[in-house]
Amino acid sequence: MSISTKLVTAEEFAVMPDDGMFSELIRGEIVSVGPPAKRHGRLINRIGKLLAIKVEDTGMGVVVSGSGVIVSRDPDSVLAPDVAVYVGAVVAPLDEPERYDEQIPDIVVEVVSPSDSASHVEDKVALYLNAGVKSVVVVWPRLSRITVRAPHGDSSLGSGDRLTFTDLPGAPIAVDEIFSSALAS
């Protein structure tokens, strides 16, 4: 005997009451985790700031953090990348939609938490790439390493390396700057 579970749509997920947990919708199923630790938050803020300097301050696009994006339909998946970059025309924040967006970001950054399993991280990376994200940056704080997954190939970066993006020419970010204790001025 099998038990049937009704899958949740992105629209149903959007109007669910806030239960205080961080949740994403993965293939129609709600996945909830506790809030991330301070290190996770600091890395997200640091990476967001470094990318904003390269992207927003030069008019190349916008950088957002933790905003839901619909990456698949039927069954629906709504992920909230730690940092997302949209290259291209800039829209004023108040003109952005108030619902989950279906515009796929060009670049996604996910910072791995101690509670994240490798299979969960890989599952999210696959969802992003299948949706059309051009580069998925996975930050491994415990290892001080970064993995970049892209349709044209993968790379692993560490101390002394520079994070670069095809869509952001002239905007490299030193890996050491991401993991340092203070942002360079």
Task: Report the C-alpha gap between 42 and 132 in whole angstroms.
Answer: 28
Tens of pLDDT, residue by residue over 9-45, are: 999 999 988 888 889 999 999 998 888 889 999 999 9
Tens of pLDDT, residue by residue over 56-73, are: 888 899 999 989 999 999
* Half-sphere exposure at residue 100, Cβ-oriented, CA atoms within 13 angstroms: 24
Task: Report the C-alpha gap between 174 and 160 in whole angstroms.
Answer: 7
C-beta of residue 158 within 8 angstroms of C-beta of residue 144: yes
The pTM of the full predicted model, rounded to 2 decimals, is 0.90
Q: Where are the domains of the chain?
A: 36-179
- Residue the block writes with tokens 């869509």: 167
From the CB of residue 141, how many other CB atoms can be counted at a distance below 10 Å?
A: 17
Task: Report the C-alpha gap between 159 and 19 in whole angstroms.
Answer: 39
Band (182; pLDDT cuts 50, 70, 90): low
Band (183; pLDDT cuts 50, 70, 90): very low
Tokens of 150: 């892209």
CATH architecture of 36-179: Alpha-Beta Complex (3.90)
